[in-house]
Amino acid sequence: MAFHVQKRHTENAHFSRFYHPRHQSHMIKVMPGGLYCTDENEIICTGLGSCISACIWDTELHIGGMNHFLLPFDSSEQLRHWHATEVVSTASRYGSHAMEMLINTLISMGSDRSNLRVKLFGGAQMLGRYSMIGEKNIEFINRYVEQEQLTVDAHDLGGMEPRKVIFEPFTGKAWLKRIPFNEVHQLQHQEEKYATELGKESHKNHDDDVELF
């Protein structure tokens, strides 16, 4: 059984499924804004620049999932002055939503919150107008896991290099690989497009949107 959630109105929040011969398992690639949880023998992967991915699994039931998110900011000034203590800000609400969707999906599959373990990846300092977003994403996720008292078994956050992450929910194992320079441009373009779409989404009125908030 597998659950996947796509962020509405985000064109590239999709999933591709393929068989990986070396791992001898099906692999699901999570794109920006996406979420995938499973209790099957599958492997989840993603590519990360400034974005954050949380890999969370249940040590007893051997189920788990991965999200892939970015905090939205209206301007470079807002980005510079934002802090994770601003829990009611649009940025914090989006980040909290991404984490809560992942955790709540696992709980709906039978997980006990006390059995959940976490591995965190991403938050690279990419070039261009979004160079500070990685830092802010890290600030958010560190505060979130502390406040929610989640057990973080491992993390690889920050730095200048994007990452490829492979996660095996059944065991909780994760593999990390630095992305070669010739692949960085494509990933940066993908994340900038996602950030632009998030900016448009964050200006909409969601007073009655229980799915988003």
Q: Give me the pLDDT at residue 77, please.
A: 74
pLDDT single digits (tens) 106-142 = 999 999 999 999 999 999 987 665 578 899 999 999 9
* Strand-pair partners of 120: 54, 155
Q: How confident is the model at residue 175 (pLDDT cuts 50, 70, 90)?
A: very high
| Residue 130 and residue 196 in contact, taking contact as beta carbons nearer than 8 Å | no
User: What are the DSSP calls for 46-110, one per residue?
Assistant: EEESS-EEEEEEETTT--EEEE-B----SSHHHHHH--TT-TTSHHHHHHHHHHHHHHHHHHHTT
Q: What is the pTM of this model?
A: 0.80
Burial call 142-162: b when 16+ CB within 10 Å, e when fewer: bbbbeeeebeeeebbbeeeeb
Angle of helix 181-202 relative to helix 90-108, nearest 10 degrees, comes to 100
In order of their start, the domains of the chain are: 2-202 (3.30.1330.200)
| Kind and range of the H or E run holding 136 | helix 133-147
